[in-house]
A and B are shown apart, each in its own frame.
Chain A
Amino acid sequence: MIEIQNIHKSFDGKQVLHGISATFEQGKTNLIIGASGTGKSVLLKNIVGLIQPDAGSVLYDGRDFTSGDKVLKTDVRREIGMLFQGGALFDSKNVQENVMFPLNVLTKMPKDEKLDRVNTCLAKVGLENVNKKMPSEISGGMKKRVGIARAIVNHSKYLFCDEPNSGLDPQTSIRIDNLIKEITEELNITTVIVTHDMNSVMEIGDYVMFIHQGHKLWEGNNQNIFDCEVKELEDFIFANNLMRAIRDQNRKK
């Protein structure tokens, strides 16, 4: 479980996050949604420690990640797996080396065992026989799946995904969403996803938090999101024709 408490962040005097608090539960897919430029990615970077918040704290199973204890910070970070927007695969390494990388650097596991673990993770994300391919030789969707395999290879307890569907076709998006959901439930990990894709919200939103201009305006799940009475969230949800059509159809019924 991850708890964030009263997170504030500003850049050059401009307040980006205004006291955001939330609890992300274990075994669930927790979504942070909002329009572009509202502070979702900044919040995620605060949670994983890539940016230090100006105020507030982040607790990983009760451990205060923002306390300044470097040993604790390193320990927590080694339990974190993260899927970046573009995959962030290392260009100079092939798929196998990319997935094996956390094991090579962070563990003293025998090579055979590492290879087994890598192949298991690649199989889990539906990638086989691509071990020797370079990142430049695989598609965007495959890169994301390799990124997920790398994120979970070290038996991470916390999985973070920054816009996992960006740049993907609808079918691949759904496949990635379902994969993240499956992994979260199977490994019983805490997953936090930043997205602005409503399909993801509907597919896998066990917990959904809506951010607007750095403020948390709503929290709930994919079941009750249509009942919300927050204008900004309504504008966000019904920005596209498809969602508006579904709403109108439901109203007619």
Chain B
Amino acid sequence: MKSLGKYIIFIATLFVRRESLGTYVRLVFDESVKIGVNSIFIFAIVSSFMGAVTTIQTAYNLISPLIPDYVISLVVRDMTILELAPTIMAIVFAGKVGSNIAGELGTMRITEQIDALEVMGINSTSYLVLPKIIAALFMYPMLVVLAGFLSIYGGYLAGTLTGVITGTEFIYGIRYDFVEYNITFALIKSFVFAFLVASISAYKGFFTEGGALEVGVASTSAVTNSCIAILLADYLLAQLLL
């Protein structure tokens, strides 16, 4: 409970004693490149293979001749949009971006760079953390959209190249009984997960005490706590919004 209270106070301090808007625009742009653009490669690899494997495994499990083949792509689509793209990729996001944020802020803390900001009269929380959270809120939903597209495309390639399903059936299944709200739900989840990963990782890094060993511990802790928060939020959002 003490940590939760400290985390809430930490979030509240993001919005006091802010610097000029121009400063934040530049910082958010820089962070967007670090958080978003630099994550495209790993997101592309993971999501493509995830879609491919999902297609093959779904086909493997659908052995009844009564079930049409297009169900394979329908399953891949719904799994991708509802869970794989926003949630599983959030775990990858926590591993890639969360550990980076915690490590960066932890190192800044132990090398007194955060103290240097404070002494200059700059709100270090707002200056260092707010741009990261805003950048994550901008970039993660875009990464989720990309991951969703590549996952389904990966499934299409795996299905058609192995002869599990024809291209026409795959496309038919993708379009069949499509619920647009699922996209909205996935985007809502992506905003929530982006906030959780960025803020929890920043919190863990910001309050690092000690040396290099503690920075490593903070990074690990950031990823672990982010993953737990993602899974809890995933369950709550599914209960509330579906």
A interface residues (Cβ-Cβ under 8 A, vs B): 48-50, 70, 73-78, 80, 82, 84-86, 88-91, 101-102, 104-106, 154, 160
Contacts and interface: CB of A to CB of B under 8 A. Distances in A.
Nearest to B113: A88
Given A77-B120, A91-B107, A105 B115 contact: no
Given A70-B17, A88-B111, A105 B119 contact: no
Interface string B99-111: 0000000011001
Contact of A86 (B17, B112, B120, B127): B112
A86 to B, nearest CB: 6
Nearest to B118: A50
B36 to A, nearest CB: 17
A118 to B, nearest CB: 15
Contacts of A48: 119
Given A74-B17, A88-B111, A105 B122 contact: yes
Contacts of A88: 111-113, 115-116
Interface of B: 17, 19, 23, 107-108, 111-113, 115-116, 118-122, 127
A50 B19 contact: no
Contacts of B122: 105-106
Contacts of B116: 82, 84, 88, 90
A78 B112 CA distance: 18
Contact of B119 (A50, A91, A104): A50
Contacts of B118: 49-50, 77
A102 B107 contact: no
A91 B120 CA distance: 17
Contact of A50 (B111, B113, B115, B127): B115
Contacts of A160: 119
A77 B119 contact: yes
B120 A85 contact: no
Nearest to B16: A70
Contacts of B115: 50, 84, 88
A84 B114 CA distance: 11
B132 to A, nearest CB: 13
A106 B112 contact: no
Nearest to A74: B121
B23 A105 contact: yes
A150 B108 CA distance: 17
A85 B112 contact: yes
Contacts of B107: 91
Contacts of A85: 112
Nearest to A71: B17
Contacts of B19: 105
A141 to B, nearest CB: 17
A93 B112 CA distance: 15
Nearest to A73: B121
A73 B120 CA distance: 11
